[in-house]
Copies of this chain bind each other. A is one copy, B any other.
Amino acid sequence: MESPLRLGVIGIGAMGMAVARNALDRGITVAVRDIRPEADREAAAAGATVCASPADVGCASDVIVVLVVDRHQVDAVLFGDDGVVRGMAPGGIVVVSSTIEPAFAESVGPRLAAAGLHHLDGAVSGGPARARDGTMSMMASGADAPFARAEPLLRQLATKLFRVGTRSGDGARAKMLNNLLAGVNLSAAAEALTLGERLGLDPHAMLAVIRASSGDSWMIGDRMPHALAGDFETRAAVDILKKDLGIVTGAARANDYPTPLADAALGVFEATSRMGHGAEDDSAVLKFYRSR
C-alpha cells in the first residue's frame, strides 16, 4: 500500500487556512507557505510545517493546493524564483484552486509538465466555513492518472468534488460560470428587495416569501439576511465579484458570445465600487440600488 499523500497548501488566507486546518484535523501531513509571517505562525500553531519557499513546500508534498489571490501570484509561486517547479519531485500534482482566467489555467498544464509535474484545476466554492469542515465544492479537471491518485485526498478537502472535464482550464471555466450566476443572482436579489422597499413592502417579509417560491437562489439566502440587518462585514468583497464578472464577460466577448445578464450585473458591481463600497461585502450592491 502506498504511504499517505502529503499535502501542501500555498496561500493561507481565509480559504487556505481553513483547508489546512481541516486536513490537519484528519491526520494529513500539511506543509504551508504564505508571504505573511502572521499567517505562517498561525498555521504552525495548528500543526502545519511552515516552509521557507514554495519550492520547499514542493519538496515536502505529493499534492499541492494553490490558494493565492490571482494569476500573478499563481505564476510566481509555481514558476518564479524558489517556485514549486524548483522543489517538487517529478510526478507531483499541483491543484490550482485560485480563481483565475481559463486561458491562463490552460497554460499552466504544459508548463508544469515541462518540470515533470501534473496539473489539476481545482476551483473551489462555498467559503471558509465549508472549507474548514471539508464540505466545500471543488470543480476539478485534468488527466485521468493524476486525478485518480489525488482524488481520495481531495475528497477529504471537498466532499462535493466534481470532475468537470479532462482539459486544463475546465475547472476554471466551471468556476467562471458559477461566478456568473452568483453575481447575477445576487444583483437581482438586491434589485428585487430594494424595489420592494420603494413600493412600501417589508423586505424581511419579502425575503421569507421569495425563499419559499420560484425566485429563490443560494445567493439570496446566503447574503440577504445579514445585509438586510445592516451587516456588511466583508465575507467576499464587491471588488472580488466585480473582477470575477469581468473575467466572464471578457471570455464571452473573446468568443463573440452574448451575456446580457452578466453585463448588467457587472454594471451594478462597478457602480457599487465607484460609490466607494468596493472593499465591503458583496451584498453592498444593496447600497447602489438604495441610493437611486
What residues of chain A have their CB less than 8 Å away from a CB belonging to chain B? 102, 125-126, 137, 139, 160, 162-165, 167, 170, 173-174, 177-182, 184-185, 187-189, 191-193, 195-196, 198-202, 205-206, 208-210, 212-220, 222, 248, 251-252, 255, 257-265, 267-268, 289, 292
Contacts and interface: CB of A to CB of B under 8 A. Distances in A.
A95 to B, nearest CB: 16
A201 B257 contact: no
Contact of A220 (B125, B174, B181, B213): B181
Given A201-B173, A209-B162, A289-B258, A216 B214 contact: no
A137 B212 contact: yes
Given A126-B213, A195-B257, A258-B292, A184 B188 contact: yes
B214 A219 contact: yes
A187 to B, nearest CB: 5
Contact of A209 (B178, B188, B217, B257): B178
A164 B220 CA distance: 18
Contacts of A193: 177
A233 to B, nearest CB: 18
